[in-house]
Structure 1
Amino acid sequence: MSYAIIETGGKQYRVEVGRFYDVELLSAEPDSKLTIDKVLLANLDGDISIGQPLVDNATVEVTVLRHFKAKKVIVYKMRPKKKTRRKNGHRQPQTRIMVEAINLSGKAA
């Protein structure tokens, strides 16, 4: 089983080929191809490469499926004994990506 740990949007994700993931908003059009080169760890059928901090010659090719907003998060602030209440909602913009291939020094998974 091949997988990689990548960093995008300030977060780290464990990704596998053929699966989709929801990441922070990327500036790419839907149905476009991207190459993520911030690979922290790559495992190609037992051949493990650990980066310090990044793995050299390792990339992950992804396809942008769509942009959307995440579920609403309610932010409620109240100051006791002051009759002050504030309720806000927030929906984080996200991008759904499909992992097409994991490349490590010319080998692909």
Structure 2
Amino acid sequence: MSYAIIEAGGQQLKVEPGRFYDINYLGVDPDSDYTIDKVLLINHEDDITVGQPYVEGATVEGTIVEHRRGRKIIVYKMRPKKKTRKKRGHRQELSRLMITSIKVNGSVIVDDSAVMTETSEEE
């Protein structure tokens, strides 16, 4: 199992090709390609490469599937004995990113077609 740990949208995520992830909104049109070059770690067949802070020449490529909104969070503020109440809701804007490949120095080390063949062999 090959994976990478990336930094995107102020978060660190463990990503694998062939899966999708919800990250903070990216101002990119849906169905367009997106490249992330802030790769912190790559694990390929138990060969671990750790960056300081980023792995040189490593990129993770993906496709923006859609833009969506997260679950609603209720923010309720009340001051006792003052008749002051504020109820507000918030929904975070998210982008759904489908990871297609992990590259190091321009060469693809793993892509989603390799992951699909691994899962079909297991069945």
State the TM bucket, normalised to the shorter chain.
over 0.9
Identity %: 57
| CA RMSD across the alignment | 0.8
Match of residue 117 from structure 2: none
Higher share in helix: 2
Q: TM-score, structure 1 length as denominator?
A: 0.96
Determine the C-alpha separation between the residues in 2 that align with 1:42 and 1:80: 52
Give unmatched runs, 5+ long, in structure 1.
none
Determine the C-alpha separation between the residues in 1 that align with 2:75 and 2:65: 29
Higher share in strand: 1
Determine the C-alpha separation between the residues in 2 that align with 1:101 and 1:44: 12
Q: How does 1:73-88 map to 2 (within 5 A)?
A: 73-88=73-88
Give unmatched runs, 5+ long, in structure 2.
111-123
Tell me by how many angstroms 1:62 deviates: 0.5
Residues 29-80 of structure 1 show CA distances to partners (whole Å, capped at 9, x for unaligned) of: 1110011000000111112110111000110000000001111100000111
The residue matched to 1:13 in structure 2 has which SS?
strand
Q: TM-score, structure 2 length as denominator?
A: 0.86
